[in-house]
């Protein structure tokens, strides 16, 4: 396939792998966190770790937008979906995420009207097509998906679609990165920065990482060749004594980001005082809500939501996995009480979560004596 | 059921299916005679008795059943009628049987255009003739509007095993080769695109086809053929995981060997779906002994349906019960069972 095959070329992969091998010092481990779940997925799907020397340790970060939604918010979404005359529309990934009262898929089976869409505009179209129902879009995602929600809100306002609202759960990338970087005993030496988020916010947004925390970051696209190249760039920075923001995804990402997308977000949403993240706890100014002047499209004002805070299960060590302090299999419930079918913690929820990706694709790579129960 | 009166050729005058067509009276009789019998007619069905009665050829018998609930009813490359014949024929074929007879149970939704029904029954008849089976028995029920997506159909099938080859996961040995008769994921992606809610267009057609001749050709290899499967719902990954789970062996596939049409691959990429988990409806996956692998491939490739047959992997002793994939990039990974439906990833 054109535009994809080039980035999966095994010959190029081998030459980049050789370069990585030449750039590491035997026995000196470099821990690289890929922030984005899309990267985690690509690493496992293509078996990338086998092309890396043992000195490169990949740590899977918090950038799965589905995984970070706290259980209480899922329950709120279920409450909306169970309201008479209301259809809840959301992305397929979100349907299986368990809240305190089960998942949206289970709510659907109980009689709620939950429908899968591929874009918020599809949800708006649904509202136009079914004027007798109220359609609420369960919006999730980082700055990547927020512009699409923003544009949808603007269109709903301009066209006066009265039976449409947004349950806004958009989150920001900087606060969780700061939370991770501020973790005492942080075990991450360098970052592979998210590609799609950066196409909106730009690479300049990450300057605090080298400047305040002394860690290099390379904004990276999602194909395996991209990831290998990013690792080369990070290792070169180390070898040359540099520590800066670099852009591997030049085919899409600009240093200043996408002004129009940022403007659309600013026109429709404001930063919340705080927001709860699954696995990371409450982070200040880490999420967006619908602006006051669009209140009639804001599900949080239209519906009486339970708004309960549900603690992550005690046995779950997702927070430590997300900050690179432990590997997925070092958690006591990994693969036993917590599996992709019955996830306890955020990292097991979607295929982009660190634990689920490892469980589904990678658990072979561990030493045999550690093989998980039931594998 | 009474025969239509002599001299009166039964016709269905209604444009749409009504509850009367399922009531067992005159409307039902006319529908059966003018539509089902006309399009599917054969010696076993014609008496319209409560059971079809026939004598099977000597050999072991195979019996299977499958329900078809596909939406939309027609899609590029096929429709539910053709699918309902091929799917059940294929279940018999991979058991090593020559398909003989089908029974079809229709659940029609009130309001279904009779012309649509006729089209589907016509393609059912054509598929049956292609696969060398007869629809020997049938039943029709009508449910109220909104209680079915136009039409559901269940087909049961009887086939005969005219050989002594035992097929099964317990006969699979380390070193055996895994063969695939053609491209992956065509049916599932064709239907997904045809549903229209993806706003995706592509030149993707279902692969629905009977694989009984492919299966029969492999059976000429005798004990060299170990295990056959048609990788439908859940795709190749699910079929091979069942094999690995039941045999306690490992299956190692080569990603670079897996044939996927470029348009199918593109659709999968866009939706974040792995073609390994997408349904096929006209493919055969076979495990054969290493020493007959080349011959088996040649046999498959003789038929147009198997023209793109390839060896996709090998059975290994370890790791127990697992399916592995050597990626094109040079790494490897586990190919696990899917949890739930393949819901597209969002970013």
Query: What is the predicted pLDDT for the residue at B343?
Result: 54
Stronger pLDDT, B338 or B141, i.e. the higher one: B141
Choose, out of A20, A92, A221, the residue to mutate when testing the contact with B (most B CBs < 10 Å): A92
Q: Over the stretch B263-319, which tens digit does the pLDDT of each residue have?
A: 999 889 888 789 999 999 999 999 999 999 999 999 999 999 999 999 999 999 999
* Mean pLDDT of all residues belonging to chain A: 90
Contact flag A1-B332 (C-beta cutoff 8 Å) = no
Name every chain B residue with its beta carbon within 8 A of the beta carbon of A66: 346
- The alpha-carbon gap from B316 to the nearest alpha carbon of chain A, in Å, equals 15
Looking at residues B123-149, what average pLDDT do you find? Answer: 95
Q: How far is CA A373 from CA A175, A338, A368, B244, B319, in A?
A: 36, 11, 11, 17, 14
Residues B307-334 as b/e (b if ≥16 CB within 10 A, e otherwise) read eebbbbbbbbeebebbbbbbbbbbbbbb
pLDDT digits (tens, 9 = 90+) for B191-233: 988 887 666 777 899 999 999 999 999 999 999 999 999 999 9
CB atoms within 10 A of CB B74: 18
Whether residues A295 and A233 fall in one domain: no
* Inside any domain, residue A279: no
Return the closest-CA partner of residue A124 out of A168, A166, A96, A184: A166
**What local confidence, expressed as pLDDT, does residue B336 receive?**
87
Question: Is residue A358's pLDDT more than 70?
Answer: yes
Q: Which residue among A17, A44, A118 places its CB closest to the CB of B198?
A: A118
Locate all alpha helices (DSSP H) within chain B, ordered by sequence: 26-31, 38-40, 80-93, 114-131, 186-194, 212-219, 235-247, 262-271, 293-302
Please report the domains of chain B, with CATH numbers, ordered by start residue. Answer: 19-161 (3.30.1330.10), 169-334 (3.90.650.10)
The CATH number for A52's domain is 3.40.50.11750
Looking at the structure, tell me whether residues A190 and A322 fall in a common domain: no
> Is residue A2 pLDDT above 80, yes or no?
no
Q: How far apart are the C-alpha atoms of A43 and A357, rounded to whole Å?
A: 9
State the average pLDDT over residues A252-277. Answer: 96
Nearest to A364 among B319, B339, B347 (CB): B319
Residue A160 shares a structural domain with residue A96: yes
ipTM of the complex: 0.81
Do the domain assignments include residue A264?
no
Q: Which chain A residues have a beta carbon less than 8 Å from that of B274? A: 45
For the beta carbon of residue A309, count every other beta carbon within 10 angstroms.
Answer: 12
pLDDT at B80 over 90: yes
Pick from A302, A334, A369: which residue ends a domain?
Answer: A302
Reported confidence tier of residue B341, pLDDT bands at 50, 70, 90: low
| A81 and A124 inside one domain | yes
The answer on A203 and A76 residing in a single domain is no
Q: What percentage of chain A has pLDDT greater than the value 70?
A: 95
How far is it, in rounded angstroms, from Cα A299 to Cα A240? 51
Contact A13 B330 (CB under 8 A): yes
Q: Are residues B340 and A66, on separate chains, in Cβ contact within 8 Å?
A: no
For residues A193 and A336, state if they share a domain.
no
Question: Is 60 exceeded by the pLDDT of residue A367?
Answer: no
Rounded mean pLDDT, B231-242: 95
pLDDT at residue B255 above 50? yes
| Residue A345 forms part of a structural domain | yes
- Find, in chain B, the residue whose alpha carbon is nearest to that of A38: B347
- Ranges of H-type helices in chain A: 10-23, 37-45, 71-81, 104-109, 120-129, 146-159, 174-181, 195-201, 208-213, 224-239, 259-268, 299-302, 318-322, 354-357
Tell me phi and psi for residue B204, to 5 degrees. Answer: -125, 125
Examine the pLDDT at A373 and tell me if it is beyond 90. no
Give residue A370's pLDDT.
41
In this structure, what CATH number is given to the domain that contains residue A139? 3.40.50.11740
Whether residues A48 and B269 touch (CB distance < 8 A) is answered with no
d(CA B58, CA B47): 24
pLDDT (average), residues A337-351: 82
| Reported confidence tier of residue A372, pLDDT bands at 50, 70, 90 | very low
Q: What's the average model confidence in pLDDT over A338-358?
A: 82
- A residues 300..359 contacting B (CB < 8 A): 340-341, 350-352, 359
Q: What is the pLDDT of residue A60?
A: 86
| B337 contacts in chain A (CB < 8 Å) | none
Q: What is the pLDDT of residue A3?
A: 59
Say if residue A101 is in the same domain as residue A29. Answer: no
Q: In total, how many domains does chain A have?
A: 3
CA–CA gap between residue A116 and residue A162 (Å, rounded): 21
Residues of B engaging A, defined by a Cβ cutoff of 8 Å: 197-199, 262, 265-266, 269, 274, 319, 322, 324-334, 336, 339-340, 343-347
The answer as to whether A338 is a domain residue is: yes
Q: Which whole number is the average pLDDT over A56-69? A: 86
Find, among A254, A63, A251, the residue nearest to A172 by Cα: A63
Which of B191, B185, B154, B156 has the alpha carbon at shortest distance from B73? Answer: B191
Using one digit for the tens of pLDDT, what is the confidence trace for B28-37?
A: 888 998 899 9
State residue B110's pLDDT score.
96
- Cis peptide bond prior to B319, omega within 30° of 0: yes
Instruction: Give the pLDDT mean for A152-159.
Output: 97
Q: Is residue A277 included in any domain, yes or no?
A: no
Contact B336/A361, CB-based, under 8 Å?
A: yes
Q: Which candidate, A334, A337, A342, A343, places its Cα nearest to that of A363?
A: A334
Question: What is the number of CB-based contacts under 8 A between chain A and chain B?
Answer: 99
* Look-up of token digits 């995420």: A97
Residue A104: inside a domain, yes or no?
A: yes
Per-residue model confidence (pLDDT) at position B82? 97
> A76 and A51 in one domain?
no
Least confident of A2-6, A123-127, B313-317: A2-6
State whether B328 and A10 contact (CB < 8 Å). Answer: yes
CA separation for the pair B336, B242 (Å, rounded) = 10
**For residue B342, is pLDDT > 60?**
no
Residue A256 binned pLDDT confidence (cut-offs 50, 70, 90)? very high
What pLDDT does B251 receive? 98
pLDDT tens digits, one per residue of A23-54: 999 999 999 999 888 898 889 889 999 999 99
Are A212 and A336 within one domain? no
**Residue A366: band (very low, low, confident or very high) from pLDDT cuts 50, 70, 90:** low
**Closest-CA residue of chain A to B345:** A93
Cβ <8 Å between B336 and A350? no
- Return the minimum-mean-pLDDT range out of A175-184, A366-375, B156-165: A366-375
What's the mean pLDDT in A259-274?
97
Within a 10 A sphere around the Cβ of B175, how many other Cβ atoms? 12
Nearest CB partner across the interface for A10, out of B198, B329, B336: B329
Residue in B262, B322, B330 nearest the CB of A51 = B330
pLDDT tens across B109-129, in order?
999 999 999 999 999 999 999
Q: How many CA atoms lie within 13 A of A164 on its CB side?
A: 27
Q: Are residues A89 and A213 in the same domain?
A: no
Query: Which pLDDT value is given to residue A140?
Result: 95
User: Which residue range forms the structural domain that includes residue A349?
Assistant: 318-359
Whether B347 and A145 lie within 8 Å, measured CB to CB: yes
**A4 pLDDT tier (thresholds 50, 70, 90):** low
- CA angle A197/A202/A208 to nearest 5° reads 100
Backbone dihedral region of B69: left (phi > 0), alpha (psi from -120 to 50 degrees) or beta?
alpha
A41 and chain B: CB distance < 8 Å anywhere?
A: yes
Q: pLDDT-based confidence at A365, cuts 50/70/90?
A: low
Whether residue A55 sits in one domain with residue A82: no
Please indicate whether, in this complex, the C-beta atoms of B345 and A351 are within 8 angstroms of each other.
Answer: yes
Which residues pair with residue A60 across a beta bridge? A34
Q: Please give the pLDDT value at position A351.
A: 73
Question: Is A121 among the domain residues?
Answer: yes
In a domain, A196, yes or no: yes
Residue-averaged pLDDT of chain B: 92
Q: Are residues A77 and A155 in the same domain?
A: yes
Interface of A with B in 65-84 (CB under 8 A): 65-66
pLDDT of residue A371: 40
């Amino acid at each position: 396939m054109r535009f994809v095959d080039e980035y999966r070329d095994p010959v190029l992969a081998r030459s980049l792998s050789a370069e990585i091998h030449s750039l590491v010092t035997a026995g000196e481990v470099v821990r690289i966190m890929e922030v984005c779940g899309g990267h985690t997925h690509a690493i496992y799907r293509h078996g990338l770790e086998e092309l890396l020397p043992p000195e490169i340790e990949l740590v899977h970060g918090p950038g799965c937008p589905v995984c970070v939604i706290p259980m209480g918010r899922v329950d709120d979404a279920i409450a909306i979906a169970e309201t008479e005359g209301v259809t809840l529309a959301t992305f397929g990934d979100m349907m299986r995420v368990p809240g305190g009262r089960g998942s949206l898929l289970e709510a659907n089976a109980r009689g709620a009207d939950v429908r899968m869409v591929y874009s918020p505009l599809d949800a708006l179209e649904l509202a136009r097509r079914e004027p007798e129902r109220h359609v609420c879009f369960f919006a999730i995602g980082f700055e990547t998906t927020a512009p699409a929600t923003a544009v949808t809100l603007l269109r709903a306002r301009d066209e006066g679609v009265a039976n449409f609202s947004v349950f806004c759960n958009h989150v920001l990338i900087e606060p969780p990165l700061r939370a991770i970087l501020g973790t005492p005993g942080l075990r991450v030496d360098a970052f592979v920065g998210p590609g799609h988020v950066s196409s909106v916010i730009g690479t300049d947004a990450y300057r605090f990482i080298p400047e305040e925390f002394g860690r290099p970051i390379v904004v990276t696209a999602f194909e395996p060749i991209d990831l290998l190249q990013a690792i080369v760039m990070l290792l070169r920075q180390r070898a040359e004594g540099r520590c800066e923001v670099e852009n591997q995804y030049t085919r899409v990402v600009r240093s200043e980001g996408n002004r129009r997308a940022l403007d659309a977000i600013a026109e429709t949403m404001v930063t919340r005082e705080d927001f709860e993240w699954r696995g990371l706890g409450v982070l200040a100014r880490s999420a967006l809500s619908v602006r006051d002047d669009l209140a009639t499209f804001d599900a949080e004002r239209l519906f009486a939501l339970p708004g309960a805070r549900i603690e992550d299960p005690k046995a779950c060590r997702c927070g430590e996995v997300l900050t690179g302090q432990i590997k997925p299999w070092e958690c006591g419930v990994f693969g036993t009480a917590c599996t992709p079918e019955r996830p306890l913690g955020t990292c097991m929820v979607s295929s982009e979560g660190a634990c689920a990706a490892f469980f589904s694709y990678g658990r072979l790579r561990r030493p045999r004596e550690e093989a998980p129960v039931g594998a | 059921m009474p025969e239509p009166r002599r001299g009166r050729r039964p016709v269905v005058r209604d444009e749409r299916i009504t509850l009367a067509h399922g009531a067992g009276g005159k409307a039902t009789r006319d529908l059966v005679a003018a539509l089902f019998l006309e399009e599917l007619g054969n010696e076993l069905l014609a008496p319209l008795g409560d059971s079809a009665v026939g004598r099977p050829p000597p050999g072991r018998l195979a019996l299977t059943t499958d329900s078809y609930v596909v939406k939309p009813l027609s899609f590029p490359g096929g429709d539910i009628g053709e699918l309902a014949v091929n799917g059940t024929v294929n279940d018999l074929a991979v058991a090593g049987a020559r398909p003989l007879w089908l029974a079809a149970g229709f659940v029609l939704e009130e309001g279904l255009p009779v012309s649509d029904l006729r089209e589907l029954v016509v393609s059912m008849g054509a598929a049956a003739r292609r696969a060398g089976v007869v629809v020997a028995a049938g039943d029709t029920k009508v449910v109220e509007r909104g209680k079915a997506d136009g039409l559901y159909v269940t087909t049961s099938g009887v086939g005969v095993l005219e050989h002594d080859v035992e097929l099964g996961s317990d006969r699979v040995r380390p070193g055996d080769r895994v063969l695939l008769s053609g491209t992956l994921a065509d049916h599932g992606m064709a239907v997904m695109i045809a549903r229209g809610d993806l706003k995706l267009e592509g030149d993707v057609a279902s692969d629905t086809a009977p694989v009984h001749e492919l299966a029969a050709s492999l059976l000429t290899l005798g004990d060299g053929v170990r295990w056959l499967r048609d990788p439908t719902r859940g795709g190749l990954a699910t079929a091979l995981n069942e094999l690995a789970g039941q045999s306690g062996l490992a299956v190692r596939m080569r990603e670079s060997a897996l044939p996927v049409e470029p348009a199918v691959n593109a659709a999968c990429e866009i939706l974040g779906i792995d073609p390994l988990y997408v349904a096929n409806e006209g493919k055969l996956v076979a495990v054969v002994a290493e020493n007959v692998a080349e011959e088996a491939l040649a046999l498959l490739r003789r038929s147009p349906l198997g023209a793109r047959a390839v060896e996709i992997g090998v059975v290994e002793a370890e790791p127990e019960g697992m399916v592995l994939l050597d990626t094109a990039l040079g790494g490897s990974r586990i190919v696990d069972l899917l949890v739930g439906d393949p819901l597209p990833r969002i970013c």
